[in-house]
Amino acid sequence: MSIQNWAWSDRLSLKHEMMDETHQEFVALCSALSLSEEHSPFLDRLDALIEHSIAHFEQENTWMDDFAFPPAGCHKGEHDAVLQVMQEVRRRYAGGERDLGQSLAEELPLWFEHHVDTMDNMLAQFLISNQLALAEHEKASPQLA
């Protein structure tokens, strides 16, 4: 996989509409890290990705809490760890370690694809089956809907 043409594809879809929309945004902001400085300052693009990631992870963390998702601790731990890496790269890049920008741009797509295949995939399946069960329950007990 070349980071130059890393983009959203159906291969990343988890069939959960809100999650897929958020993930499309992550992919767009993440691949923008590979643009040149002439396009826009790297730190502006990294800040946009960090801002997105805080909201993206918070949304998933809230779903995990709301639906008592069993492996929530492990999943939240991956969110916290990657966010810390992004913030550390931001700090060091601002301090002059420019090579780290390119490394982050190359590593994040690999991290994300693995995270989607494992953690987010499990969460999406869990949410879909819980939402189906809830819809079935509301159909059977319309007065509760």
Contacts (Cβ under 8 Å, ≥6 apart) of 28: 8
Nearer to Fe ion, 37 or 117 (CB): 117
CB of 4 to Fe ion, least distance (A): 23
Q: Please list every residue from 97 through 126 that binds Fe ion, using CB under 5 A.
A: 119-120
Compare residues 33 and 119 and give the one whose CB is closer to Fe ion.
Answer: 119
The DSSP annotation for 62-91 comes to HHHHHTT-TTHHHHHHHHHHHHHHHHHHHH
CA distance 22 to 18: 6
Q: Contact 69/126 with Cβ under 8 angstroms?
A: yes
Q: How far is the CB of 140 from Fe ion (least distance, A)?
A: 32
Residue closer to Fe ion by CB (options 71, 92) is 71
Q: Which stretch binds Fe ion (CB under 5 A): 27-35, 47-55, 59-67, 93-101?
A: 59-67
Could you tell me the smallest distance in angstroms from the CB atom of residue 132 to Fe ion? 21
Among 60, 90, 124, 126, binds Fe ion (CB under 5 A): 60
- Dist CA 26 CA 5 (whole Å): 15
- Stretch of 32-40, 55-63, 125-133, 136-144 lying at the interface with Fe ion (CB under 5 A): 55-63
Q: Which residues contact Fe ion (rule: CB under 5 A)?
A: 60, 119-120
